[in-house]
Structure 1
Amino acid sequence: MALIDTLNADLKTAMKARDKETLATVRMLKAAVVNEQVKLGHDLNDQEGLAILATELKQRKESLTEFKKANREDLVTPLLQEIKIVERYLPQPLSEDEVSQLVQQVIEQVGATSTKDFGKVMKVLMPQVKGRADGAVVNKLVKAALTK
């Protein structure tokens, strides 16, 4: 089932259940997906859909840290609920160990030997972990592996 179909089905379910929080979040996600479809001029494939959802999740997590810094507990609780809802649509995130194993495989695959090969490794690795691992974590692990 395509992402937009899943969002539409969940939208109807949330409406019937009168679940305002889920309804609002699913509407935001659907709007982001539809906006991207219009921008690109075609239906999104799974990778593009996951990328949008990952972006939405990242934005909410960044907002969460800002709200916590500002002691805005009134905004933290609803945002945590939104994060849980968005995470339902994303695949299970990779652990740091799993990402580290992928990093080693890609380094061997491309024959990387030094930090000069960082770009080659990232170019092959990022499509494999898109939406399943934080880019900053991947970046850190690749740098660590190449400086050994």
Structure 2
Amino acid sequence: MSLKEQITEDMKAAMRAKDSNRLGTIRLLTAAMKQKEVDERIELTDANVLAIIEKMIKQRKDSITQFEAGGRQDLADKEKAELDVLSAYMPAAMSTDEISAAVAEAVAETGAAGAQDMGKVMAVLKPRLAGRADMTTVSAVVKRALTAQA
């Protein structure tokens, strides 16, 4: 079952269970998926859906930070609940050791020699690690690996 089909089934289950919070979040996700399909005239793959979910998770994290800074804990809690629902669709996160191994492999594959080759390495890693690792962390590991080489 594709991720898109799984989300649709979860939406039906949330409707049956009358779980309005979960249902609302899943509806936001399906709306974003349909929007992308219509805008780009494509059928979404699991990778596309993961990219949409990643973007929505990042938005929720930013909102939580802003709401807590503004003293609006009620809104922050709502965003946290949405974040929990969205996070359930993400694959298991990679450990730091797994990220380091993937970075070392990509550096060897691209023949990167220094910090100027960071873009090449990231271009190789991004599709491989999408949804499984925070790209900010990956970027930091790549930078350390390339500066250690120089």
TM-score over 0.5 (shorter chain): yes
The correspondence of residues 105-144 of structure 1 with structure 2, limited to 5 A, is 105-144=105-144
Separation (CA, whole Å) in 2 of partners of 1:83 and 1:64: 9
Number of residue pairs matched by the alignment: 148
The correspondence of residues 28-107 of structure 1 with structure 2, limited to 5 A, is 28-107=28-107
Aligned residue identity for 2:137: V
Normalized against structure 2, the TM-score is what? 0.93
Separation (CA, whole Å) in 2 of partners of 1:97 and 1:60: 27
Cα 1:116–1:131 shift into 2, 3 Å = same
Point out the more displaced range, 138-147 or 95-104. 95-104
**Could you tell me how far 1:46 is from its partner in structure 2?**
1.4
Provide, for residues 5-52 of structure 1, a one-character-per-residue CA deviation record: whole Å limited to 9, x for no partner.
Answer: 222211111111110110000000000111111111121111111111
Give the ranges of 4+ consecutive aligned residues of structure 1 lying more than 4 Å apart after TM superposition: none
Normalized against structure 1, the TM-score is what? 0.94
**Could you tell me how far 1:99 is from its partner in structure 2?**
1.2
**Could you tell me how far 1:96 is from its partner in structure 2?**
2.4
Aligned residue identity for 1:141: V
Separation (CA, whole Å) in 1 of partners of 2:131 and 2:70: 28
SS for the counterpart of 2:15 is helix
Separation (CA, whole Å) in 1 of partners of 2:141 and 2:123: 14
> Which ranges of structure 1 fall in alignment gaps of 5 or more residues?
none
> Which ranges of structure 2 fall in alignment gaps of 5 or more residues?
none
SS for the counterpart of 2:26 is helix
**Could you tell me how far 1:130 is from its partner in structure 2?**
0.8
SS for the counterpart of 1:62 is helix
Partner of 1:21: 21
Contact kept in structure 1, 2:4 and 2:46, CA below 8 Å: no
Provide, for residues 98-145 of structure 1, a one-character-per-residue CA deviation record: whole Å limited to 9, x for no partner.
Answer: 212211111111111211111111111111111122221111111111
Point out the more displaced range, 71-80 or 15-24. 71-80
